[in-house]
Amino acid sequence: MAKKEMTKTTKEAVEVLTIDQLQTNLVAARNDLTSAKRGHKMGELTNPRVLSATRKKIARLSTAIRAAEIDAAKEKK
């Protein structure tokens, strides 16, 4: 049996955002979640997986903001 060669894919570089930009994205994601919840209650939301994806996006943004705040605090010391 021949082994299949796995090709490695490289990740694209992620743009580094400032804390203000991250907070702006967080507010927008929270607004998206609110509107998605409203749409889900009214039966307008076609894909309910949007809710969990948006919650995960909010968690990632919150984590990134907290990590950036910790790094900024370390630099000040």
Tell whether 60 is covered by a domain. yes
pLDDT, one tens digit per residue, over 12-66 is 757 788 899 999 999 999 999 999 999 999 999 899 999 999 999 999 999 999 9
3-class SS of residue 8: coil
Tell whether 8 is covered by a domain. no
Tell whether 13 is covered by a domain. no
Task: Look up the domain containing 26 and give its range.
Answer: 19-76
- Tell me the pTM: 0.77
Tell whether 2 is covered by a domain. no
pLDDT at 15: 79
**CATH code where residue 44 lies:** 1.10.287
Half-sphere exposure of 36 (CA within 13 A, CB side): 16
Tell whether 69 is covered by a domain. yes
Tell whether 14 is covered by a domain. no
pLDDT at 13: 59
Cα gap 55→65, rounded to integer Å: 15
Cα gap 77→50, rounded to integer Å: 41
Tell whether 3 is covered by a domain. no
Whether the predicted pLDDT of 76 surpasses 80:
yes
Whether the predicted pLDDT of 9 surpasses 60:
yes
Q: How many domains does the chain have?
A: 1
